[in-house]
């Protein structure tokens, strides 16, 4: 591969990871349904993971990038498991799943 192609691929990978993160952030803030918000969170985490892989590739330290990605995947699995437990409880009390109704919860 020549240098021009490498620069183009680096720009594409960086843009894709930022785009995934921004799409997830938009979904997280604009949707009122709890399931759609968790899907937005998942998209954000995938964008961050792709960014970690790309940063490790650019620095030439793939072992550190792999370690960080595995750690991020473990954290992501825990976050999604907690989010799914919260979704079950939200749908138990509010079958619509609308987060605007959650302000009535007291605890």
pLDDT the model gives residue 107: 59
Each residue's pLDDT, cut to its tens digit, for the chain (107 residues) gives 566 677 888 899 999 999 999 999 999 889 888 888 889 999 999 999 999 999 998 898 889 999 999 999 999 999 899 988 988 887 887 777 777 777 666 65
Side-chain half-sphere CA neighbours of 28 within 13 A: 14
pLDDT the model gives residue 69: 92
Cα–Cα distance measured from residue 87 to residue 34, given in angstroms and rounded to the nearest whole number:
7
Domain range for 54 is 3-104
Number of domains in the chain: 1
CATH of the domain at 40: 1.10.287.3510
DSSP letter for each residue of 67-93? HHHHHHHHHHHHHHHHHHHHHHHHHHH
pLDDT the model gives residue 73: 92
Opening angle at CA 78, ends 88 and 70, nearest 5:
150
């Amino acid at each position: 591969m020549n240098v021009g192609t490498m620069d183009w691929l680096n720009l594409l990978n960086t843009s894709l990871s930022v785009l995934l993160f921004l799409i997830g952030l938009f979904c997280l803030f604009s949707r009122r349904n709890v399931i759609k918000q968790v899907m937005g969170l998942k998209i954000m985490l995938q964008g961050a993971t792709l960014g970690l892989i790309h940063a490790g590739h650019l620095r030439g330290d793939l072992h550190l990038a792999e370690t960080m990605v595995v750690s991020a995947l473990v954290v992501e699995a825990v976050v999604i498991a907690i989010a799914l437990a919260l979704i079950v409880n939200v749908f138990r009390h509010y079958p619509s799943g609308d987060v605007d109704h959650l302000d009535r919860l007291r605890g």
